[in-house]
Amino acid sequence: LTMVFIVTLIMIYFLQSNLGQAFIVTGDNPIMAQSIGIRTDQMTNMGLMFSNGLIAIAGAVIAQNSGYADINMGIGIIVIALASIVIGEVVFGELTMNQRLIAITLGSIIYRFVLL
């Protein structure tokens, strides 16, 4: 939970910065972002690096917790991620970007409780 809390706070802080806002604009409307001078190729590469870094951290934490790593450990994780997003969006409704990050985090916790 501490790791989730720290990563969520870092993402909130990052998305409030100028670079984070350019990152959001590139994801929402790349043509408009390019017209105001944002290098969309660099933002896309940064997004890929950021997401792969988070995936690497998550994989390392899971491997540390399990005591081993297996090639099949990630099967079905996209379903869990999408379910967390849907639960967070439905339960908490219209939100700002920072509130949405917290809602998705809480949605993943709710999803785990539903499975129990």
Q: What pLDDT digit, counting tens, does each position of 22-45 carry?
A: 999 999 999 999 999 999 999 999
Higher pLDDT, 11 or 74: 11
C-alpha angle with apex 20: 45 to 90, nearest 5 degrees? 100
* Structure tokens that stand for 19 in this block: 């670079």
111 touches 83 (CB < 8 A): yes
Q: What is the mean pLDDT of residues 96-115?
A: 88
Residues 16 and 61 in one domain: yes
Residues 18 and 44 in one domain: yes
List b or e across 51-69, with b for residues whose CB sees 16 or more CB atoms inside 10 angstroms: eeeeeeeeeeeeeeeeeee
Higher pLDDT, 70 or 12: 12
pLDDT digits (tens, 9 = 90+) for 56-67: 888 888 889 888
Range of the domain at 27: 1-70
Residues 111 and 63 in one domain: no
pTM: 0.74
Q: What is the mean pLDDT of residues 93-105?
A: 88
Residues 41 and 80 in one domain: no
